[in-house]
A and B are shown apart, each in its own frame.
Chain A
């Protein structure tokens, strides 16, 4: 026998206190002390077993060694993993609802700005698309398909107990979107951008209604519970995490160079009877001209630093962190930066009282690109012509000089001169006190708050860019603040009877209120562009606007968790919500949301004791009802909008009232099966669900002859109503495989999500269309929503080909009532031939049909991580299969119907009498039916993206010990490395325009997502 000493630590080198150190097959053992040290007497050939809750047990044979330094790996497949289920926790094995979890480890070292982007592909059933590559912009998160027709389909985020809406437009919770639109861009900013992903410990996604019903009216789109890091008992830890990244635009669209453009302009001169431009007389003398995309896209730097301190002693644990992120956008002039501070402290004050606080303060600044449509920087980068220079010889911005009034602004000048800055200050926090009243009985009260102070500063300077001269500078300041608070009081009772019956009861009440207020002031006529404050504007031309509002929600809830003999479990919950969104004089303010679910641990049955092929087999089934009340205020009544008129203030009716408004509701059932195989190395979760939502809170898409223009322009808003019914059926599959031999470990997880959306019912006589603008101002309705089909299907004409034969052309169905002739406005050779779908012998609006489906057959994520000794490698792929994309960016840039507008190189293959073997129609000046929304602009949006590749190296612990450092890791990664796709646009991952479910997959001048190269460093002391 001899003495063996040593130290046990976790992978990062942090000493572990209280690890069991036992000689195998004996009762000889000890535990590690505060510094992780142990000392044990054993025989020479003994095997020592190191075990610790939450870590993988390790066996080491002594073989004559005197010291053993052991690292224990955390058990990520821990059977006792705790899952947050809302107002409480449960062991993963006991959760009856559908909950996916993402561990912080999975998403570390990835240079994403906010957590919603990081969730992409990590959880089955969660479809995430980035709506824009703009730094800090919003993301579309859809949990199990599209639940609602309008309003937000974004889930509810609960950050350390404080609910935060995922709705980027914020109209229901803070009045208006924080960014002034100025009629230009509509890319919402992410409500989660204020949260530093490095502070996040875990993300639990409640997917089915039996899980989310406890959140009642706010749970219909799923709930994402985000928990931030806490200090751990043991020695204090100081961490520094940092990365530096270079982002580069991925793919540029090939646009015409100057000679090709000049040829097209000369053709237009013929068509419009104008004199050809002198400078285009000798095309062979022309250079390639300005490549505007190269001018507006640029490599951009991103850097991130985070310093955190954490630890815990006896009755207190703490986590303090500060972070700084600075991201330049790949579109010049755009950017995002964030300073964030976080403090989490928990303390056991007495045996019977526990308190805790979690607090985040952050300041984010967005340099918002003028984007979103024809006048946006990205669109103009495509359309601005190659004969215009970026700069004049004197260094000032150039612009078109003689363009018959048809040209465009210089997008570089636009991007760099017009300032649109959004500063958001946010304080988000939660305090709790928990009293143990008796054994198993506790009372907890929580107060949470979300305080936002936003300021948007938008300045248009005076300028002279070619013929575009602006002598009046304009400053627009929006200041907005919103205060949200929530008070929760609940009682928890837990009792285990005879080790067979396990019962947990919850009873609670909560009240929450949002108030918001905003001021918008405009000043004009500054003497210079240098100092931009309101007081320096010409007082005579000042204008102001303001808004203010509040909403409230009051709720009661109860839940029973019961399990018998660790085999059968039942969960039942009930919640009642009263909402201020509905008429207080009516009967619709309160909604009631029950749920019930059950599970059966098949493997724990006696008759399964001899069945070893599969492990931990569990069946579960759930049913629940949730609601939605996410609409602007006071839609049960009508209000008046104020206008400035020459007669004094005017008051326009802003909306049509509907006092009968009530909750939108969703019913969901879920069946799940979980099992492990190969000794639990392969873990499988399969879930099937059906979600039926009805009574959508929907603003009626009334024809303009009933409502006119938008209310802020003097029209009358259509009423919000409850209508329709929609069903999503789907399946989520998660496969994860973990193995390891000696120093090598391998972990792969595949998630597959499939849903099928079908609209079951709509009122007759109501045509639901998704509407947007083409070329900035031409209204179009590219989608339609019909009963029996998925929501938001692409709608337009089917293309047969191009008219090529003068002999047979007149035998074809007449198109849009135009004659077959070469006259202006008629249909002739080189024009698109559309299908006469209804066979009535003519082609007109009645031949519009479904031409594409934006819903994917499935989306998937495949993450792989490998570890060998100090090296780790991870590869993450994600993609979408079977969805269509409508490429309006391409249509806008290949319309071949106007001068002074650059077009795609591809469209240079336009039809001419000499070039008939093409699918690009002839150029026509002005309106042409060739540019109808048609199958021509619908493309396969399937893609597979190498989303992330990371290679890391941790310095050897022997070296670290000498330096008294726990861990140093360096890594390099590539984000958005490559995308396999047939899509012609910048990026097939389109998202929804303004998170609108009726405009899914519509690419209309979207800011593309960059490729990012990162180098990072993590140090733990």
Chain B
């Protein structure tokens, strides 16, 4: 009696030790990796770095404008939020990787277990991919328990982190289910072996290991698992970002937001991107950033992606809140345009959501990106190519955008395609970061990051900002350095055993 009186196991939660007792539970164990831990990263750092620093967007918000002006200090809350958010993904992935095998019930079959661990390794690699691109060297953590009582650890070199991601993705390729993305979108949510191949191709590309990148990209393309939405399946570039097309055939990996409106479990992007509360209906819609003049001007004539990315006066969006016509001078940041991508409208048109919590997915990787990776891998660092396979991939992407096929693919053209295809998906700054520094600095310092005047016709108040070579990665949050001064020390090679 006494023993029982003092034994109080949790009454409102599963205990870790008893959780993995059925296939259903093991399958559900990875859901978390697609959701809440990503929230703070998606909320601001994703676009503050990916769009403001890259020159795709501009803002007057003195808090975010530092990213545009390359005056970011380590105290920036956006950085701290991104840092802790991405490490949450790592921690939750590690929990599955380390705890599941020891605790899983014998009745659960090995492929089910291996698939879950493969998904976790994929997401761990995805989080590290962002970490290494934003901060450079960071600690490799395979099991958080190893450092709980000894938290002051060194960072590991960037190359080791890439090796670590490759290992994770190899495991995911071997152990995750193979899929063929069909029209039943609800089956497509979890990543597959093919998703891991696609991410691995991108990671090899970042390392300039072009042959491997090409090989994996081609495996993905040849598998037919993914299709270009609006080209190989009905739809359009604009519809790609609608809530109803979550997990369409083009989606390789995406954050799977909930529609319940619980804070931190829905998509926060619309709250930031929509230029008016009238679009969202939920009190948010802050127009924190607007497309820059530079981005808007960079579109080729007739590029359909412009309509799906940028709201301009007079644009009609029939699916947005049952029909929306963009008024005069949208946007809040002096560029007379506003962001369209990821702006999905009011909860009643999107199956739920609430303030800062829409139900539309956020892409982490999609097939169009892979096609461009494929083309770039084939170029293998050359200034241009006429390789048929490379052109085929790029032209597929261009065809959906309503553009003429290219006959020669230049490096500049490829960078441009990546920029407009993936604008406001948080990619362009990393693409610039892959260039030689002087080249990237030249591109950025020539970008028009200014505003239009109120005159008719408007004139440009020009603003240009020149980054220095070390502005392409960011400082560790100071509270973290305070807890672990070793973060500032030189990276130490990782012991892979």
Q: How far is the CB of A696 from chain B (nearest CB, A)?
A: 15
User: Considering only CB atoms, which chain A residue lies closest to B41 in the complex?
Assistant: A709
User: Considering only CB atoms, which chain A residue lies closest to B144 in the complex?
Assistant: A706
Q: What separation, in Å, do the CA atoms of A772 and B93 have in the docked complex?
A: 27
User: Considering only CB atoms, which chain B residue lies closest to A642 in the complex?
Assistant: B13
Determine whether A643 belongs to the interface, using a CB cutoff of 8 Å to chain B: yes
Contacting pair A707 B334 (CB below 8 A): no
Contacting pair A471 B277 (CB below 8 A): yes
Determine whether B416 belongs to the interface, using a CB cutoff of 8 Å to chain A: no
User: What string of 1s and 0s marks CB contacts (under 8 Å) between B1-36 and chain A?
Assistant: 011011111111111110100000100110111111
Contacting pair A541 B75 (CB below 8 A): no
Contacting pair B8 A704 (CB below 8 A): no
Q: Report B63-118 residues with CB < 8 Å from chain A CB.
A: 63, 65-66, 69-73, 75-77, 80-81, 83-85, 87-92, 95, 99
> Which of B62, B145, B352 sits near A898, CB closer than 8 Å?
B62
Contacts of A474 in B (CB 8 A): 354-355
Known: A275-B454, A472-B281, A650-B32. A405 touches B61 (CB 8 A): yes
Q: Report A834-869 residues with CB < 8 Å from chain B CB.
A: 845-846, 848
Q: How far is the CB of B2 from chain A (nearest CB, A)?
A: 7
**Interface bracket on A:** 35 or more
Determine whether A913 belongs to the interface, using a CB cutoff of 8 Å to chain B: no
Contacts of B71 in A (CB 8 A): 824-825, 926-927
Contacting pair B264 A713 (CB below 8 A): yes
Contacts of B262 in A (CB 8 A): 522, 543, 545, 643-644
If over half of B's interface residues share one DSSP class (helix, strand or loop), that class is named, otherwise mixed; here it is loop
Q: What separation, in Å, do the CA atoms of A640 and B14 have in the docked complex?
A: 6
The stretch from B161-169, B174-182, B306-314, B473-481 touching chain A is: B473-481
Known: A274-B334, A638-B16. A646 touches B6 (CB 8 A): no
Contacts of A845 in B (CB 8 A): 478, 481-482, 485, 488
Contacts of A522 in B (CB 8 A): 261-262
The stretch from A68-76, A150-158, A549-557 touching chain B is: A549-557
User: Considering only CB atoms, which chain B residue lies closest to A641 in the complex?
Assistant: B13
User: What string of 1s and 0s marks CB contacts (under 8 Å) between B248-264 and chain A?
Assistant: 00000000111111111
Determine whether A229 belongs to the interface, using a CB cutoff of 8 Å to chain B: no
Contacting pair B9 A708 (CB below 8 A): no
Q: What separation, in Å, do the CA atoms of A406 and B138 have in the docked complex?
A: 34
Contacting pair A716 B144 (CB below 8 A): yes
Q: What separation, in Å, do the CA atoms of A637 and B278 have in the docked complex?
A: 47
User: Considering only CB atoms, which chain A residue lies closest to B254 in the complex?
Assistant: A646
Q: How far is the CB of B339 from chain A (nearest CB, A)?
A: 12
> Which of A472, A702, A778, A824 sits near B151, CB closer than 8 Å?
A702
Q: How far is the CB of B15 from chain A (nearest CB, A)?
A: 5
Known: A702-B151, A716-B92. A524 touches B85 (CB 8 A): no
Contacting pair B12 A926 (CB below 8 A): no
User: Considering only CB atoms, which chain A residue lies closest to B486 in the complex?
Assistant: A765
Determine whether B348 belongs to the interface, using a CB cutoff of 8 Å to chain A: yes
Contacting pair B6 A549 (CB below 8 A): no
Q: What separation, in Å, do the CA atoms of A467 and B277 have in the docked complex?
A: 8
Q: How far is the CB of B184 from chain A (nearest CB, A)?
A: 14
Q: What separation, in Å, do the CA atoms of A639 and B278 have in the docked complex?
A: 41
Contacting pair B8 A471 (CB below 8 A): no
Determine whether B190 belongs to the interface, using a CB cutoff of 8 Å to chain A: yes
Q: What separation, in Å, do the CA atoms of A943 and B31 have in the docked complex?
A: 54
Known: A406-B61, A646-B257, A650-B28. A701 touches B95 (CB 8 A): no
Contacts of A807 in B (CB 8 A): none
Determine whether B39 belongs to the interface, using a CB cutoff of 8 Å to chain A: yes
Contacts of B352 in A (CB 8 A): 540-541
Q: What separation, in Å, do the CA atoms of A645 and B145 have in the docked complex?
A: 26
Q: How far is the CB of B21 from chain A (nearest CB, A)?
A: 12
Q: What separation, in Å, do the CA atoms of A649 and B477 have in the docked complex?
A: 32
Contacting pair A640 B261 (CB below 8 A): no
Determine whether B484 belongs to the interface, using a CB cutoff of 8 Å to chain A: yes
Q: What separation, in Å, do the CA atoms of A709 and B288 have in the docked complex?
A: 23
Determine whether A546 belongs to the interface, using a CB cutoff of 8 Å to chain B: yes
Contacting pair A550 B8 (CB below 8 A): yes
Determine whether A978 belongs to the interface, using a CB cutoff of 8 Å to chain B: no
User: Considering only CB atoms, which chain A residue lies closest to B190 in the complex?
Assistant: A647
Q: What separation, in Å, do the CA atoms of A178 and B259 have in the docked complex?
A: 26
Q: How far is the CB of B331 from chain A (nearest CB, A)?
A: 10
Determine whether A686 belongs to the interface, using a CB cutoff of 8 Å to chain B: no
User: Considering only CB atoms, which chain A residue lies closest to B11 in the complex?
Assistant: A548
Contacts of A634 in B (CB 8 A): 8-10, 15
Q: What separation, in Å, do the CA atoms of A708 and B127 have in the docked complex?
A: 12
> Which of B15, B72, B73, B287 sits near A638, CB closer than 8 Å?
B15
Determine whether B282 belongs to the interface, using a CB cutoff of 8 Å to chain A: yes
User: Considering only CB atoms, which chain B residue lies closest to A715 in the complex?
Assistant: B88
Determine whether B395 belongs to the interface, using a CB cutoff of 8 Å to chain A: no
Q: What separation, in Å, do the CA atoms of A524 and B95 have in the docked complex?
A: 34
Determine whether A88 belongs to the interface, using a CB cutoff of 8 Å to chain B: no
Determine whether B283 belongs to the interface, using a CB cutoff of 8 Å to chain A: yes
Determine whether B382 belongs to the interface, using a CB cutoff of 8 Å to chain A: no
Determine whether A612 belongs to the interface, using a CB cutoff of 8 Å to chain B: no
Q: What separation, in Å, do the CA atoms of A784 and B478 have in the docked complex?
A: 13
User: What string of 1s and 0s marks CB contacts (under 8 Å) between A643-674 and chain B?
Assistant: 11111111111101100000000000000000
Determine whether A899 belongs to the interface, using a CB cutoff of 8 Å to chain B: yes
Contacting pair B28 A649 (CB below 8 A): yes
> Which of A472, A644, A712, A769 sits near B260, CB closer than 8 Å?
A644
Contacting pair A705 B37 (CB below 8 A): no
Contacts of A769 in B (CB 8 A): 479, 482-483
> Which of A589, A641, A649, A706 sits near B6, CB closer than 8 Å?
A589
Contacts of A712 in B (CB 8 A): 264
Contacting pair B482 A781 (CB below 8 A): yes
Determine whether A700 belongs to the interface, using a CB cutoff of 8 Å to chain B: yes
Contacting pair A899 B11 (CB below 8 A): no
Known: A705-B139, A718-B148. A647 touches B31 (CB 8 A): yes
User: Considering only CB atoms, which chain A residue lies closest to B277 in the complex?
Assistant: A469
The stretch from A238-246, A578-586, A904-912 touching chain B is: A578-586
Contacts of A405 in B (CB 8 A): 60-61, 286-288, 332-333
Determine whether A779 belongs to the interface, using a CB cutoff of 8 Å to chain B: yes
Contacts of B453 in A (CB 8 A): 275
Q: What separation, in Å, do the CA atoms of A848 and B465 have in the docked complex?
A: 31
User: What string of 1s and 0s marks CB contacts (under 8 Å) between B192-232 and chain A?
Assistant: 00000000000000000000000000000000000000000
Contacts of A715 in B (CB 8 A): 37, 84, 87-88, 91-92
User: Considering only CB atoms, which chain A residue lies closest to B450 in the complex?
Assistant: A273
> Which of A511, A643, A644, A646 sits near B189, CB closer than 8 Å?
A646
User: Considering only CB atoms, which chain B residue lies closest to A518 in the complex?
Assistant: B12
Contacts of A639 in B (CB 8 A): 10, 13-16
Contacts of B259 in A (CB 8 A): 646
Determine whether B418 belongs to the interface, using a CB cutoff of 8 Å to chain A: no
User: What string of 1s and 0s marks CB contacts (under 8 Å) between B312-356 and chain A?
Assistant: 000000000000000000001110000000000011100111110
Lowest 7 A-B CB distances belong to which pairs?
A708-B88, A825-B71, A470-B283, A714-B36, A646-B256, A650-B31, A644-B258
Show 14 A/B contacts (Cβ-Cβ < 8 Å), sorted by A.
A406-B62, A525-B347, A540-B352, A548-B12, A552-B5, A637-B16, A640-B16, A644-B35, A651-B29, A654-B13, A706-B148, A845-B478, A845-B485, A899-B62
Using A405-B286, A652-B92, A825-B69 as known contacts, list a sample of 8 further A-B pairs with CB atoms less than 8 Å apart, ordered by residue number in A: A522-B261, A543-B260, A550-B11, A633-B8, A650-B34, A714-B32, A715-B91, A779-B80
Interface residues, chain B, CB within 8 Å of chain A? 2-3, 5-17, 19, 25, 28-29, 31-40, 60-63, 65-66, 69-73, 75-77, 80-81, 83-85, 87-92, 95, 99, 138-139, 141, 144-145, 147-152, 189-190, 246, 256-265, 276-278, 281-283, 286-288, 332-334, 346-348, 351-355, 359, 361, 450-451, 453-454, 461, 463, 465, 477-485, 488
Interface residues, chain A, CB within 8 Å of chain B? 183, 272-275, 404-406, 460, 463, 467-472, 474, 511, 513, 522, 524-525, 538, 540-541, 543, 545-554, 578-580, 584, 589, 633-634, 637-654, 656-657, 700-709, 712-716, 718-719, 721, 763, 765-767, 769, 771, 777-781, 784, 816, 824-825, 845-846, 848, 897-899, 925-929, 932
